[in-house]
Amino acid sequence: MKKSIFLYVCIACLGVSNAMAEEGTGAITTEVSYVAEAVRNLSGGLQKGTKYEAAGTLGATVDLEKAGLWSGATAYVEFIIDHGTDPSGTLIGDFQTASNIADGNRTRLQQVWFEQSLMDGAIAVLVGTHDLNAEFNVTEYGGLFTNSSFGIGPEISGNAATSLFPEAGLAARIAFHANDQLAFSAAAYDGDPATRPLRAAEGYMYIAEAAYSSEGAAYKLGLWRHTKAPVQGGGQGLSGAYIVIDQPLWDWDGGSMGAFLQYGLAQRSAENIKNYVGGGFHFSGLIPGRSNDEAGIAFARADFSNNYRSLNPGFKKAETAIELTYRAPLTDWLAVQPAFQYIMAPSGDPALRNAKVGLLRLELSL
């Protein structure tokens, strides 16, 4: 029933968008995506087996100025429907989460926000329900990969309740673009997005990022603090920092190569992860005549905190995932992406052998 409702809503929104486009307003832009995958644990981890999961998203952006309602304003609404079984919890046993769409069964109004542009776009203020990882701690090259750590480091997601997929929380964000190259952003988020209402007892997540971009390269430095994140010894309040680098390396006729690096550090008192490092190489157009194909190899290493290892005596100091993947658009609206991950020391548990994981993903977008 939920799947049918999702499809009906998609069709209705597309119809509204097309109608407005025909009228020449162009005020509404819709985005519909459905990602389905099969994940098989070939060996190691908790047990062999295959799990299936999918994530559907319907987003609508409304340019309120084009609609004749509000100058310099934009509104956004996003609805998600997820289903299936998380392979990390049932087959692999890894901490970093092998699939970045892993969620289980959920239907949710994920994001609803309003943004006001000021000073000819130099300043933008956003309020509403917002996904932190839509703007902060983002690597463009790392976005190709399927492991969750390439989206946002586990030193954040593994230590503190954070406004991320699949639970976005209330937020206020201000962004300042000094010029075409230099930008600054700062935001405050609900300390526990799962509950939605703001509660002082759940604290707040504060984050700020400075970004410099030039000729396809991007360099980012971020600082964050969660006022109520649990820490070693039963206390609360955790801070951290991160850097993200996207660096083009080489272009050729119909293709390119780039590299990315992520590094994140949390306080020594962190509950689970004390630091994280990830990085890899991204390729496009490896096969002649297929310039839109993407391929990559990357690694993600999460070092467990002293607190985590004291609660789990004998556990190893880190979990490392190595991923090899290839994404091929078959049409304008359909792409296929196989991936292989080799996960060493899942969750640091010495009882779990290194896991070999195969993943096949299909992406539908309209």
Give which of 109, 60, 102, 98 is closest to 85, Cα–Cα.
Answer: 102
Full domain range(s) for residue 336: 2-365
Contact 355, 322 (CB under 8 A): no
Token output for 365:
């977008």
Per-residue pLDDT of the chain (366 residues; tens, 9 = 90+): 444 444 433 433 444 444 444 443 689 999 999 999 999 999 999 999 999 999 999 999 999 999 999 999 999 999 999 999 999 999 999 999 999 999 999 999 999 999 999 999 899 999 999 999 999 999 999 999 999 999 999 999 999 999 999 999 999 999 999 999 999 999 999 999 988 788 889 999 999 999 999 999 999 999 999 999 999 988 999 999 999 999 999 999 999 999 999 999 999 999 999 999 999 999 999 999 999 999 999 999 999 999 999 999 999 999 999 999 999 999 999 999 999 999 999 999 999 999 999 999 999 999
Q: What is the DSSP letter of 88?
A: I
Give which of 281, 57, 294 is closest to 150, Cα–Cα.
Answer: 281
**Confidence (pLDDT) at 361:** 98
**Confidence (pLDDT) at 18:** 45
Token output for 274:
């004390």
Contact 304, 310 (CB under 8 A): no
Looking up residue 72, the CATH number of its domain turns out to be 2.40.160.180
Q: Is the peptide bond before 313 cis (omega within 30 degrees of 0)?
A: no
- CA distance linking residue 99 with residue 88, whole number of Å: 8
- CA distance linking residue 359 with residue 306, whole number of Å: 32
pTM of the model: 0.91
Give the torsion sign (CA, 158, 135, 33, 333).
Answer: negative
**Confidence (pLDDT) at 25:** 61
Q: How many domains does the chain have?
A: 1
Contact 2, 20 (CB under 8 A): no
Instruction: Please report, in angstroms and rounded to a whole number, the separation of the first and last CA atoms in the chain.
Output: 22
**Confidence (pLDDT) at 20:** 42
